[in-house]
């Protein structure tokens, strides 16, 4: 599912999946930096939504339901110029039609880089 997607292009690697929690890593390199050499806020948001999307998908009935991002916000609290960032997403609310995920992105020293909240829509699939 990841081949030829934004997830692959940004080098995002899902490292852990369990019910209600997903962890992923992303390099801070030429693919994910903005022109001034800092981690691009959009790359952080893409990482956050990836974690929320994978996590939400793991919580639905895959035969009858899908998921899609409905809303996302992010606060970028620390710059990052190289290395790897890790996103940990946990479900805050799991409803029938929406889920809310909390995502914290940290550096190798466990310092907060970005905090995000993502609302996922649970979509009924047509048969």
Q: What is the pLDDT of residues 74-112, one digit of tens each?
A: 999 999 999 999 999 999 999 999 999 999 999 999 999
Q: Is residue 21's pLDDT more than 80?
A: yes
List the Cα angle 119/125/127 in 5-degree steps.
175
Q: Is residue 19's pLDDT more than 80?
A: yes
Average pLDDT, the chain: 97
Return d(Cα 18, Cα 107) in angstroms, integer.
Answer: 22
Spatial strand order of the sheet with 98-106 comes to 13-18, 21-28, 83-94, 98-106, 112-124, 65-76
Q: Is residue 23's pLDDT more than 80?
A: yes
pLDDT of residue 53: 98
In CATH terms, 6-124 corresponds, of 3.40.50.2000, 3.40.1710.10, 3.10.129.10, 3.90.1150.10, to 3.10.129.10
pLDDT of residue 40: 98
pLDDT of residue 2: 85
Domain ranges of the chain: 6-124
- Residue 127's pLDDT band, with cuts at 50, 70 and 90, is confident
Q: What is the share, in percent, of the chain residues with pLDDT greater than 90?
A: 97
Q: What is the pTM of this model?
A: 0.96
| Residues with catalytic roles | 49
Return d(Cα 115, Cα 52) in angstroms, integer.
Answer: 13
């Amino acid at each position: 599912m990841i081949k030829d997607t934004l997830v692959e292009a940004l080098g995002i690697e899902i490292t852990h999946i369990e019910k209600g929690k997903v962890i992923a890593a992303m390099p801070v390199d030429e693919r994910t930096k903005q022109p001034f050499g800092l981690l691009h806020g959009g790359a952080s948001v893409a990482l956050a939504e990836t974690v929320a999307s994978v996590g939400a998908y793991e919580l639905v009935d895959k035969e009858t339901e899908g998921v899609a991002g409905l809303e996302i916000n992010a606060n970028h609290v620390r710059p990052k110029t190289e290395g790897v960032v890790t996103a940990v997403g946990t479900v805050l609310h799991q409803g029938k039609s929406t889920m809310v995920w909390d995502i914290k992105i940290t550096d190798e020293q466990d310092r907060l880089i970005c905090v995000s909240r993502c609302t996922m829509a649970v979509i009924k699939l047509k048969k």
